[in-house]
Chain A
Amino acid sequence: MSTIKTLDELKAKRQEILARKAAGNGKTVINVSLATCSIAAGGKAALEAMQDEVAKNGLSGVEFMQSGCMTYCYAEPTVEITLPGKAPVVFGGVDETRARELVTEYVMKGEPVEGIIPVNYERVVL
C-alpha cells in the first residue's frame, strides 16, 4: 500500500476508487447493516441467506457489502439494495424468508417486495 503524501495524491486516490466503483456499475449492490444490534437482530443470517440464494440461482453481477447502523432499529435487520441504474431501496424486517424473497423477487425480477422503509432524512454528502 503506497502512502498518501499530499492533498493531490489523496484526490487522485479518490478518483481512482470512484472510477473502480463506477466500473462496477451495472452490478446490483446488496448492503447489509451489520452493527452490533443489527447482527443481534439477525443481520448475518439475512446476509448468508441472500448469499446462498444468489449462489443457488447462479447470479453474477451481485455485490455484497456490509455497513454500520442504518438507524432503523425498529425494523432490523435492514438491507439496502441498489439495482443497476435505480435509486437505493432499504428493506426492513429481513428475516431469512424475506431475504431469499428479496433475491428472487426484487433482485432477479425487480418486483416490489413489502417492507420498504421510506427515507426520512437529508444526508450531508461532503
Chain B
Amino acid sequence: MAATTTEKKQIRIATRNCGFIDPESLDDYIAVRGYEALAKALTMTPAEVVELVKASGLRGRGGGGFPTGVKWGIALANAADQKYIVCNADEGDPGAFMDRAVLEGDPHSVVEAMAIGGYAIGATIGTVYIRAEYPLAIKRLRKAIEDARAYGLLGKNIFGSGFDFDIELKYGAGAFVCGEETALIKSMEGQRGEPVTKPPFPAQSGYWQKPTIVNNVETFANIPAIIVNGAGWFAGIGTATSKGTKVFALAGKIQNVGLIEVPMGITLREVIFEIGGGCPDGKAFKAVQTGGPSGGALSYKDLDVAIDYESLIARKSMMGSGGMVVMDEDDCMVSIAKFFLDFTMDETCGKCTPCRIGSKRLYEILDKITKGKGTPADLVRLKSLCENIKDTALCGLGQTMPNPILSTMDTFGNEYAAHVKDKKCPAHVCTAMLTYTIDPAKCTGCTLCTKVCPVECISGTKKQPHTIDATKCIKCGACYDKCKFDSIIKQ
C-alpha cells in the first residue's frame, strides 16, 4: 500500500533536522529558521516564556516526565545571584542512542534551546554534561557553540536584548548514575557522582547550591519548535496527559532497527509491527523492554496499550529516555532480567545499602535460578526483596532497579516457575538446564557433529545414527548449529 500522509505513523519534532541539515553549518540551521525561537523568546518576559512552555504540556524526555514549564517556573521564582541551566547528555541506557543522534545531527537546536531556558529562568551560564564516549557529538557541539558565539547568538547582549548567555561543556566518564540529576550535579562539581536526597530539588538548590535546571537533550530539542509554532500546536499532538512526540531507539529482535519519533498515544502494536516491521526471520514477538534497565518488559498482552507516561508506569515499566529493546520467542525472560540486573549492579554508586547490596543479592538469586538451582522459595524471596528495594533506595536508579524483575515475574511467571520447579528453560537459553540428544530417525550419520564437538562426547559409526554422552556434554551447542538434518534435539 502506498503511504499517504495520514498513514505515516511518525512525526518528527525533536529530530526535525536530523539527516536534513549539515550539523556543522550554522547557515544550514539558520536556513531552517534556526535561532528565530530565541529571538522571539527575548521579546517576551521570562515569565511569559515559562507560561508558554507550561501551556505546551512538554514533560521531561529523560524519563521522569516532570512538566518542563513547571520546573522552569520553580527556578524562575527562586531569586539568586547566579542560576544555571544544564543539558543532560549522559545517555547510558543499554540500546539507547536518541540523544547522541540529536547532538550529532542538530546540535544548534540544543544550543538555542538552552539559551531560551537560560533566559526563562534567569541563568547566564549553560553547561552540557556529556559523555566522553561521544566524541563526534562533542566535536559538533563545540563547533555549534563557537559558531553561535561568532554570530553573537551566544555571549553578551544577545539580539540586543541585554541578555548574556554562554555555554560550556563538562565531560562525564560514563557512569549510569550520573544521568540522575543530583548525581550529575555532584559530578559537575568535581565530586563523586552520587545522588543526594530531594528536596531540595536542583531547581531550588543545585549546582554550587544555586537554582539549576537539568533537562535532557530531547527535551531541549523540542523547545525551539514550541516557541516558533506555539504551545497550542504542540499540545494538539499526543494524549491528554502526555503531549508531543517521543523519540525511541528501536533495537533488538526487530526488522527495522532504528530511531523513530512517534506521537504520544501510539500503540505498541503500531510501533513494533507497523513501523518496526515485527521480529526478523518470522519469529514471534514476545516482549519489549522500555525505559532501559529502569523499565520493565511489556508483552504481547500490552500491544494495544497507548504509549504515554502513565500507562507505562501502570504496567510496571516506564517511558525512560526511550530505549526499546525487542525480544522474540528465543529470549528467556529470566535471563533478560538477569542481564539488566547485571548492568544496574555494575552501575550502582554504592551510596545506599538497598541499591548496593540489594542489587548483588537480586543478581545472585537470578543467577541461581538460571543455573537450574532455584527453588520456589527463591521466587518469594526475589519478589519481596524487589519490593523492599523499590521502597527504600535513595535515588531513581535503585528505586527502579527491580522493575525488569517485577514486570517479567508478572507477565512471564510461568517461565520463572518452569525454571525452579521443572528445571527447564522454556526458551532454551539457560545452558545449565539444556540437554542435547540425537533423533536416530533423522540422523544420517554424516559425522559433522563429531568433528565440531570440542569434548568428543558424540560417538557412532559413519552412516549410522550417532549418540551424545550427556555426562560429558558441555552444552556448547556446536553440534546443534552444525547439523544439517535437524536431528539434534535441544530441550
CB-CB < 8 A to A13: which residues of B? 30
Residue of A at shortest CB range from B39?
Answer: A7
> In the complex the two chains form, is B152's CB within 8 Å of A124's CB?
no
Interface string of B1-27 (1 = CB under 8 A from A): 001010011111101101111111001
> In the complex the two chains form, is A3's CB within 8 Å of B151's CB?
yes
The listed residue (B27, B150, B160) touching A17 by CB distance below 8 A is: B27
> In the complex the two chains form, is B11's CB within 8 Å of A124's CB?
yes
The listed residue (A1, A70, A80, A120) touching B9 by CB distance below 8 A is: A120
> In the complex the two chains form, is B12's CB within 8 Å of A68's CB?
no
The listed residue (B28, B33, B40, B258) touching A72 by CB distance below 8 A is: B258
Interface string of A66-94 (1 = CB under 8 A from B): 11111111100000100000000000000
> In the complex the two chains form, is A74's CB within 8 Å of B255's CB?
yes
Interface size on A, residues (CB 8 A): 39
Q: What is the CA–CA distance of A121 and B23 in the complex, to the nearest angstrom?
A: 21
* In the complex, A58 has a CB within 8 A of chain B: no
> In the complex the two chains form, is A69's CB within 8 Å of B8's CB?
no
Q: What is the CA–CA distance of A67 and B159 in the complex, to the nearest angstrom?
A: 28
The listed residue (A10, A17, A18, A80) touching B19 by CB distance below 8 A is: A80
Residue of B at shortest CB range from A7?
Answer: B39
Query: A5 and B150 in contact (CB under 8 A), knowing A10-B36, A69-B259, A71-B18?
Result: no
CB-CB < 8 A to A3: which residues of B? 150-152
Interface size on B, residues (CB 8 A): 56
Interface string of B131-143 (1 = CB under 8 A from A): 0001011001000
Q: Is the interface of A mostly helix, strand, loop or mixed?
A: mixed
Interface string of B185-212 (1 = CB under 8 A from A): 0000000000000000000000000000
CB-CB < 8 A to A68: which residues of B? 18-19, 23, 101, 104-106, 140
The listed residue (A4, A17, A31) touching B153 by CB distance below 8 A is: A4
The listed residue (B8, B28, B105, B152) touching A122 by CB distance below 8 A is: B8
Q: How far in angstroms is the closest Cβ of chain B from A124? A: 5
* In the complex, A28 has a CB within 8 A of chain B: no
Q: How far in angstroms is the closest Cβ of chain B from A15? A: 10
CB-CB < 8 A to A71: which residues of B? 15, 18-19, 101, 258-260
CB-CB < 8 A to B257: which residues of A? 73-74
Q: What is the CA–CA distance of A39 and B104 in the complex, to the nearest angstrom?
A: 12
> In the complex the two chains form, is A7's CB within 8 Å of B36's CB?
yes
Inter-chain residue pair count (beta carbon < 8 A): 137
* In the complex, A6 has a CB within 8 A of chain B: yes
Q: How far in angstroms is the closest Cβ of chain B from A44? A: 12
Which of B120-128, B223-231, B400-408 lines the interface with chain A?
Answer: B223-231
CB-CB < 8 A to B225: which residues of A? 124, 126
Interface string of A1-40 (1 = CB under 8 A from B): 1011111001101100110010000000001010111010
> In the complex the two chains form, is A36's CB within 8 Å of B24's CB?
no
Q: What is the CA–CA distance of A123 and B12 in the complex, to the nearest angstrom?
A: 5
Residue of A at shortest CB range from B256?
Answer: A74
* In the complex, A112 has a CB within 8 A of chain B: no
The listed residue (A11, A35, A73, A122) touching B136 by CB distance below 8 A is: A35
> In the complex the two chains form, is A121's CB within 8 Å of B18's CB?
no
> In the complex the two chains form, is A126's CB within 8 Å of B229's CB?
yes
CB-CB < 8 A to B91: which residues of A? none
In chain B, residues 25-80, which have Cβ atoms closer than 8 Å to a Cβ of chain A?
Answer: 27-28, 30-33, 35-36, 39-40, 43
Q: What is the CA–CA distance of A39 and B15 in the complex, to the nearest angstrom?
A: 19
* In the complex, B261 has a CB within 8 A of chain A: yes
Q: How far in angstroms is the closest Cβ of chain B from A38? A: 9
* In the complex, A65 has a CB within 8 A of chain B: yes
> In the complex the two chains form, is A6's CB within 8 Å of B159's CB?
yes
Residue of B at shortest CB range from A14?
Answer: B30
The listed residue (B12, B22, B104, B159) touching A124 by CB distance below 8 A is: B12
Q: What is the CA–CA distance of A33 and B152 in the complex, to the nearest angstrom?
A: 29
> In the complex the two chains form, is B259's CB within 8 Å of A73's CB?
yes
Q: What is the CA–CA distance of A7 and B43 in the complex, to the nearest angstrom?
A: 10
In chain B, residues 121-178, which have Cβ atoms closer than 8 Å to a Cβ of chain A?
Answer: 134, 136-137, 140, 150-153, 159-160
Q: How far in angstroms is the closest Cβ of chain B from A76? A: 9
Query: A10 and B39 in contact (CB under 8 A), knowing A4-B151, A121-B8, A124-B229?
Result: yes
> In the complex the two chains form, is A122's CB within 8 Å of B39's CB?
no
Additional 15 contacts, C-beta under 8 A, given A7-B40, A126-B33: A5-B152, A10-B30, A13-B30, A17-B31, A31-B20, A36-B137, A67-B18, A68-B19, A69-B101, A73-B259, A74-B256, A119-B3, A122-B11, A125-B32, A126-B225
Which B positions have Cβ atoms within 8 angstroms of A? Answer: 3, 5, 8-13, 15-16, 18-24, 27-28, 30-33, 35-36, 39-40, 43, 97, 100-101, 104-106, 134, 136-137, 140, 150-153, 159-160, 224-225, 228-229, 255-261, 275
Which A positions have Cβ atoms within 8 angstroms of B? Answer: 1, 3-7, 10-11, 13-14, 17-18, 21, 31, 33, 35-37, 39, 65-74, 80, 118-126
- The 3 A-B residue pairs with the shortest CB-CB distance, nearest first, are A68-B105, A3-B152, A121-B10
